Amino acid sequence: MTKAARIPFWRDLRVLRALAQVLFVIFVILLGNWLYTNLQANLKRTNISFSYDFLQQPASMGISEGLPFQPTDSYQYAFWVGVFNTFRVVFLGMILATLVGLIVGVARLSSNWLVRTLSAIYVETLRNTPLVVQLVFWYTAVFLKLPRVDESLELPGPIYLSQRGLVMPQPQPTESFALWGMALGGGLVVALGVYIARRIYLERVQRPGTPWLWGLSAFLLTALGSWFLLPQAPLRWEPPVRGIFNFEGGMQFTPEFTALLLGLVIYTAAFIAEIVRAGILAVSKGQKEAARALGLTDFQMLRLIVLPQALRVIVPPTTSQYLNLAKNSSLAVAIGYPDLFNVANTIINQSGRAIEVILMIMGSYLTISLLTSLFMNWYNRRVRLVER
Amino acid sequence: MRKVFTVGLVVALLLPLLTIGQGQPTDTLGRVKARGSLICGVNNAVPGFGFLDERTGTFSGFDVDYCKALATAIFNDPAKVTYRPLTAAARFTALSAGEVDVLIRNTTWTFSRDVELKLNFGPVTFYDGQGFMVRKASRINTLRDLNGATICVLQGTTTEQNLADMARRLGITIRPLVFTDVTARDKAYDEGRCDAMTADASGLAGARVRLSRPDDHKILPELISKEPLAPVVRHGDDTWYDIVKWTVYCTIEAEELGVSSRNVAQLRTSTDPNIRRLLGLEGDFGRKLGLDSNDWCANIIAKVGNYGEIYDRNVKPLGLERIVDGKPSPNASWNDGGLIYAIPFR
Amino acid sequence: MIEQKRVAAEVLPPPTLRYGPLRWLRENLFSTWYNTLLTLLCLWGLYAALSALLEWAFTRADWSVIPANLKLLLVGTYPAEMLWRVWAVLYFVVFLLGGSAGLWGSLLRDAVVALSAAFFLLALLPFGMSERLLLAGLALLGGGMMGAGWLLRRAARLQTWSKRILLGLWVLSPILVVVLVGGLPGSGWLPTVSTEKWGGLMLTFMLAIVGITTSFPLGVLLALGRRSELPVVRWFSILYIEIIRGVPLVTVIFMASVMLPLFLPGDTRVDQAVRAMTAFTLFTAAYIAENVRGGLQNIPRGQYEAAHALGLSHFWTTVFIVLPQALRAVIPANVGQFISLFKDTSLVFVAALLDLFNIGRSILANPTWLAHDSEMLLFIASVYFVFAYFMSRLSQRLERLLGVGER
């Protein structure tokens, strides 16, 4: 190797690459530093301070639902109540939106003209109007039109339905609850055993079947059996009591929660329906014909042949829709549901700490999004494995 | 590539909009004059105080009229205002950072805002207080009757805090239902989702007009807070603070002296020394404030009106009278037993 | 006779699937028992919803709030004596669209036909006479330009030149539009109108269009960065995309409008509208990047290898081979992004701007219109729907035209 034969470093691709990256890092650091010094100078000049000390102060506000909350609790705890409420609606929303989206997506390919057309109208209308307008519509035009609390509908249970929401009895543990809990644990072990045994059996005889159904029935049997064997029922149904203004106690689903959930589900389902439709159309016709030739019923064909293949196409874009649902839940402020964004807004108004709280909001949504992404990526890999 | 080129052009075009202050005056008045318009932080959706008016094609309202009065004092032209609608969350940051020259956005004067946020509050233009509206049929007559009630609240300012503090003081529990949108809050109360609605008295009056049957509702006489609303400027520019202060006092003094937009031209011949000083015929008050002319206050009265005119134009249509059944509200003139009182122009 | 009939029978067309309405009903609505049940259920739901809505819309609703405030809803507080400038922009855009539709045809032609028809229908509504004439003029201009373009297409030389001129005008159009609406500082006949006075539907459109055009190159760069071989660039791109996609738009707008001045040196003032546009650009770029990445992943390896075999460097492979194919494939997805951006502009109230939705809220605070919230809400929702639906149809047509997913 002579000196002349070596590539000069300014033309060596490896050196250039490293150099480019170093320059990029320097650029980013310089930019960050410039922004940071500006921020420092401006905060000083404009008398705005940056600190999270205010989080320990009493919040002096009320939160209408979620975890129990007193006005004397801290801002920090108030924020957590908001996070909990967001999480509740997002989690349920994802599950329900998937179900509704699946049904509408299949309905878009229905042989019934009216069903097909109505589901198309549904998808087009909901996708093309702002969600916030829809939420206000559900809340004011549907849920607030339910009977007033004095004239609540009483269903057996007793379950009450009114403008103040759906109120139903709540199970309260009694003294024998601990014993029953142990029985449930035992049931779980039994169920697992049954599931595995059934699975091994099915593999041996080479027949299709539903081992999880066996496991589930085993669990339910133990649970029910122990319930009746115990001297005292482990759970007692505590009915809601009518106070002066509202129902007290019991399980309550407020109209704000329900309207937000419904709005998010119906809006997101419209997008998921289109994804599902595209996914089903992507499964080649031959697969369906082959399934029919094997004598599978419509439902079996959908479950065993079409959906597993369609899932491959459906899962990645659905992940984006889940992320959108999580972020769209911040529109809850429009209809008075105390979600993370709503509570945080109040905290900003009362403490004047806009920068700090906005950073907390961003961090919380980011965490929810990343958790969703992680789960969906894991699921995506599973679907892919099943396919091979 | 074509697209990239287009975008480059757009960016190049938008760059001039990013104006970097070079050799600008450091004082607020100088900046306002150099700019040729006053930037006024307002609320764009409060009935009576700030809203869009289709007849003028621009903003109207009680707070907006004070922006116009300030612009008239400086430029002799109420149209030289740039309105910047601000959310409750953004307003103080916007004022501190110099985004607006003055904040006239139904802002309550409190200790922490005045001291901690390092702001200066001008004279109170409107004395508000947080109250409750309930159904007449509900048998709620005092605040204690609200125990266990669901109450509709609008997010922002100190309304929720006052509510929570009241509940703690009286030892009752309440369920607040917090909205960001006035329309949604009013609907929820109107349909019966809430047993009561709380807001500043001015807001309640506006909300009541909107209900499907306004006569079925009443406003409880008890108020749970004092909400003096005032224009706000930042610390560090006393000249500017003086101009804002005396603009407000000009409208109040004019009402006390009986000077209005209708008679201000005739009263130039008045021999009353108070009126002559107010209208700039005697003394050198405008110049001392740093303004261009001495008839600044006469211009405000002629083009915007005195306090009574501003009040009657904007707040009266909401059903809020200054004197109710012979009893003065805090917003009546001190001559009538109210709190609206001008510092003498001497 | 019999002979004749046989001849006639031979030329009969093959039997078509044409059948009577009763048969159609049975096949499409009542084929099985559960289909019948579904049909009845749908009919009942449709009746319940429509009857309630129509009853309200025609008896109890008072629509006077819309015509009284139409100017505010469309252009906000833009000075009334300057409105001719907005009309000029409309004319200019229709001129460009019509000409392009005539010269290039296909999808644009349908869009311009729909647009002209819409203007024509609007001209029939009882506005002032001058507005109606101007609207009719727009419809005529759209149709006329399309015809002119179609004629120019016949002449080869003229065609290339007119195409070049149109392209140039398109490139210059952002400047012209901004100058027309915003004004030329220092000129007598185009006084500046600050962005605070822009509003309503006009602002909604400007925000969405600027957002999508400026975010596009950034999105492409991020997508390339995410697939880059340089780990630092790749990780930076991934970090940016994932963070932005993980937070709600409203917090990004808040950061840009309230926090931005704190991150810039001392006396720098950035226009409010520019701040909102920056937020939209930064936000949308992350989503565009993901769309483009999808397009990039679909390009077969052979394309890269063939380009390398031809001696193209990495850079030129990307510019000439990869991007043209990838970008073509992701056009429909980006139209979808544009629609959602269009709907999301309602969040700019955080940035002190009055778009269509927030103008509506400000009008409702006027004591005169306090009780007209339902009418206003419905009107605004319909405006969003009309435009979003129009664009989504266009994107579907485009998808079919480009044959995305069929190769």
Q: Residue C342: enclosing H or E segment and its boundaries?
A: helix C331-344
Q: What is the mean pLDDT of chain A?
A: 84
pLDDT tens readout for residues B65-118: 999 999 999 999 999 999 998 887 788 888 888 889 999 998 889 888 888 788
Set of chain C residues whose Cβ sits within 8 Å of the Cβ of A281 = none
Query: Do the Cβ atoms of A323 and C264 come within 8 Å?
Result: no
If pLDDT is split at 50, 70 and 90, which confidence band does C406 have?
A: very low
pLDDT tens readout for residues A317-370: 888 889 889 999 988 888 889 999 999 988 888 887 878 898 899 999 999 999
Across the A/C interface, how many CB contacts are shorter than 8 Å? 127
Set of chain B residues whose Cβ sits within 8 Å of the Cβ of A255 = 193
Please report the pLDDT score of residue A43 as a whole number.
Answer: 80
| Mean pLDDT of all residues in B168-183 | 87
Please report the pLDDT score of residue B17 as a whole number.
Answer: 46
pLDDT tens readout for residues B128-137: 999 999 999 8
| Mean pLDDT of all residues in C75-84 | 86
User: Which two three-digit tokens encode residue B32?
Assistant: 């306002």
Looking at the domain C205-407, which fold is it?
A: MetI-like fold (1.10.3720)
SS3 content of chain B, % helix, strand, coil (to 5): 40, 20, 40
Query: Do the Cβ atoms of C381 and A130 come within 8 Å?
Result: yes
Please report the pLDDT score of residue B20 as a whole number.
Answer: 45
Query: Do the Cβ atoms of B13 and C273 come within 8 Å?
Result: no
Please report the pLDDT score of residue B197 as a whole number.
Answer: 93
Set of chain B residues whose Cβ sits within 8 Å of the Cβ of C272 = 84
| Cβ(C273)–Cβ(C281) below 8 Å | no
Please report the pLDDT score of residue A388 as a whole number.
Answer: 38
Set of chain C residues whose Cβ sits within 8 Å of the Cβ of B179 = none
Is the Cβ of C282 closer than 8 Å to some Cβ of chain B? no
| Cβ(B334)–Cβ(B325) below 8 Å | no
If pLDDT is split at 50, 70 and 90, which confidence band does A3 have?
A: low
- Regarding beta strands B38-42 and B102-103, do their DSSP bridges make them parallel or antiparallel, or are they unpaired? parallel
Query: Do the Cβ atoms of B5 and C171 come within 8 Å?
Result: yes
Please report the pLDDT score of residue B279 as a whole number.
Answer: 93
Domain range summary for chain B, segments of one domain joined by +? 27-127+229-320, 130-225
Is the Cβ of B163 closer than 8 Å to some Cβ of chain A? yes
Please report the pLDDT score of residue A343 as a whole number.
Answer: 92
Please report the pLDDT score of residue B275 as a whole number.
Answer: 93
Report the alpha-carbon distance of residue C381 to residue A138 in Å, rounded.
14
Backbone phi, psi, residue A92, to 5°: -65, -40
Please report the pLDDT score of residue A267 as a whole number.
Answer: 94
Q: How many CB atoms lie within 10 A of CB B180?
A: 22
Query: Do the Cβ atoms of B93 and A48 come within 8 Å?
Result: yes
Q: How many CB atoms lie within 10 A of CB A28?
A: 12
Q: Give the sign of the dihedral formed by CA A367, CA A373, CA A376, CA A377.
A: negative
More confident residue, A305 or C12: A305
CA angle B216, B220, B221 (to 5 degrees): 135
How far A252 CA lies from chain C's nearest CA (Å)? 28
Q: What is the mean pLDDT of chain C?
A: 83
Report the alpha-carbon distance of residue C202 to residue C193 in Å, rounded.
14
Please report the pLDDT score of residue C293 as a whole number.
Answer: 85
| Mean pLDDT of all residues in C167-181 | 86
Q: How many CB atoms lie within 10 A of CB A4?
A: 6
Amino acid making up residue C342: F
Set of chain A residues whose Cβ sits within 8 Å of the Cβ of B170 = none
Is the Cβ of A352 closer than 8 Å to some Cβ of chain B? yes
Set of chain C residues whose Cβ sits within 8 Å of the Cβ of B34 = none
Which residue from A374, A282, A335, A339 is spatially nearest to A131, judged by alpha carbons?
Answer: A335
User: Which two three-digit tokens encode residue A303?
Assistant: 């479950």
**In terms of DSSP H, where are the helices of C230-271?**
231-246, 249-254, 260-263
Amino acid making up residue B203: G
User: Which two three-digit tokens encode residue C155?
Assistant: 């002449």
**Overall pTM surpassing 0.90 (yes/no):** no
Query: Do the Cβ atoms of C213 and B10 come within 8 Å?
Result: yes
User: Which two three-digit tokens encode residue C314?
Assistant: 């990495």
pLDDT at C405 over 50: no
Nearest CA in chain C to B42: C352
pLDDT at C15 over 70: no
Please report the pLDDT score of residue A173 as a whole number.
Answer: 79
Within 10-29 of C, beta carbons closer than 8 Å to B belong to: none
| Beta strand segments in C252-315, E | 268-269
Lowest mean pLDDT among A4-8, B188-192, C245-249: A4-8
pLDDT at B4 over 80: no
Nearest CA in chain B to A355: B93
Nearest CA in chain C to A357: C251
How many CA atoms, within 13 angstroms, populate the side-chain half-sphere of residue B25? Answer: 11
pLDDT at C8 over 70: no
| Cβ(C354)–Cβ(B44) below 8 Å | yes
Query: Do the Cβ atoms of C365 and B44 come within 8 Å?
Result: yes
Set of chain C residues whose Cβ sits within 8 Å of the Cβ of A144 = none
pLDDT at C5 over 70: no
Please report the pLDDT score of residue A5 as a whole number.
Answer: 64
Q: Which of C274, C352, C370 sits opposite B47 (nearest CB)?
A: C370
Nearest CA in chain C to A366: C246
If pLDDT is split at 50, 70 and 90, which confidence band does C16 have?
A: low
Please give the distance of CA C221 from its chain centroid, rounded to a whole number: 23
| Cβ(B124)–Cβ(B55) below 8 Å | no
Domain range summary for chain C, segments of one domain joined by +? 73-193, 205-407
Is the Cβ of C81 closer than 8 Å to some Cβ of chain B? no
Within 126-145 of A, beta carbons closer than 8 Å to B belong to: 136, 139-140, 144-145
pLDDT tens readout for residues B266-325: 999 999 999 999 999 988 899 999 998 899 999 999 999 999 999 999 988 888 889 988
pLDDT tens readout for residues C234-244: 999 999 998 99
Chains touching chain C, criterion 3+ CB pairs below 8 Å: A, B
Q: Which of B9, B24, B60 sits opposite C175 (nearest CB)?
A: B9
Please report the pLDDT score of residue C13 as a whole number.
Answer: 63
Q: Calculate the CA dihedral of residues A149, A150, A152, A154 and round it to 10 degrees.
A: 130
| Cβ(A346)–Cβ(A61) below 8 Å | yes
Query: Do the Cβ atoms of C271 and B6 come within 8 Å?
Result: no
Report the alpha-carbon distance of residue C224 to residue C288 in Å, rounded.
12
Query: Do the Cβ atoms of A358 and C28 come within 8 Å?
Result: no
| Cβ(B127)–Cβ(B341) below 8 Å | no
Is the Cβ of C309 closer than 8 Å to some Cβ of chain B? no
pLDDT at C375 over 60: yes
Query: Do the Cβ atoms of A21 and C233 come within 8 Å?
Result: yes
Percent of chain C whose pLDDT exceeds 70? 93
Q: How many CB atoms lie within 10 A of CB A173?
A: 12
Query: Do the Cβ atoms of B18 and C77 come within 8 Å?
Result: no
With both helix axes pointing from N to C terminus, report the angle between B62-75 and B296-303 in degrees, rounded to the nearest 10: 140
Is the Cβ of B155 closer than 8 Å to some Cβ of chain A? yes
pLDDT tens readout for residues C293-334: 888 877 788 888 888 898 888 888 888 888 888 887 787 778
Q: Which of A130-144, A260-274, B13-27 has the highest mean pLDDT?
A: A260-274
Query: Do the Cβ atoms of C363 and B54 come within 8 Å?
Result: yes
pLDDT at C181 over 80: yes
3-state secondary structure B35-61: HCCEEEEECCCECCCEEEECCCCEEEC
Query: Do the Cβ atoms of C175 and B183 come within 8 Å?
Result: no
Please report the pLDDT score of residue C266 as a whole number.
Answer: 67
Please report the pLDDT score of residue B18 as a whole number.
Answer: 46
With both helix axes pointing from N to C terminus, report the angle between B238-256 and B307-314 in degrees, rounded to the nearest 10: 80
pLDDT tens readout for residues A281-328: 888 788 888 888 988 887 788 888 888 888 877 887 888 889 889 999
User: Which two three-digit tokens encode residue A357?
Assistant: 């709280």
A251: β partners: A168
pLDDT at C169 over 80: yes
Q: Residue C73: enclosing H or E segment and its boundaries?
A: helix C70-75
Is the Cβ of B169 closer than 8 Å to some Cβ of chain A? no
Chains touching chain B, criterion 3+ CB pairs below 8 Å: A, C
If pLDDT is split at 50, 70 and 90, which confidence band does B13 have?
A: very low
How far B224 CA lies from chain A's nearest CA (Å)? 15
Query: Do the Cβ atoms of C195 and B17 come within 8 Å?
Result: yes
Burial class (CB in 10 A: 0-12, 13-18, 19+), C84: exposed
Q: Calculate the CA dihedral of residues C118, C124, C126, C130 and round it to 10 degrees.
A: 90
Q: Which of C80, C362, C367 sits opposite B45 (nearest CB)?
A: C362
Please report the pLDDT score of residue A162 as a whole number.
Answer: 83
- CATH code for the domain defined by B27-127+229-320: 3.40.190.10
Mutation test of the interface with chain A: which of C60, C262, C290, C396, choosing the one with the most A Cβ atoms within 10 A? Answer: C262
Query: Do the Cβ atoms of C255 and A358 come within 8 Å?
Result: yes
Report the alpha-carbon distance of residue C298 to residue C295 in Å, rounded.
5
Set of chain B residues whose Cβ sits within 8 Å of the Cβ of C366 = 47, 51-54, 60
Set of chain A residues whose Cβ sits within 8 Å of the Cβ of B177 = 64, 256, 336
pLDDT at B1 over 70: no
Which residue from B301, B266, B294 is spatially nearest to B280, judged by alpha carbons?
Answer: B294
Please report the pLDDT score of residue B16 as a whole number.
Answer: 45
Q: How many CB atoms lie within 10 A of CB B166?
A: 19
**DSSP string across B192-248:** TS-SEEEEEHHHHHHHHHHSSSGGGEEE-S-----EEE--EEETT-HHHHHHHHHHH
Is the Cβ of A60 closer than 8 Å to some Cβ of chain B? yes
Report the alpha-carbon distance of residue A42 to residue C392 in Å, rounded.
45
Q: Calculate the CA dihedral of residues B228, A356, B18, C176 and round it to 10 degrees.
A: -90
Please report the pLDDT score of residue A4 as a whole number.
Answer: 54
Set of chain B residues whose Cβ sits within 8 Å of the Cβ of A348 = 89
Is the Cβ of C371 closer than 8 Å to some Cβ of chain B? yes
Domain B130-225 classified CATH 3.30.200.20?
Answer: no
Query: Do the Cβ atoms of A336 and B97 come within 8 Å?
Result: no
How far C135 CA lies from chain B's nearest CA (Å)? 22
| Cβ(B67)–Cβ(B102) below 8 Å | yes
Report the alpha-carbon distance of residue A276 to residue C193 in Å, rounded.
48
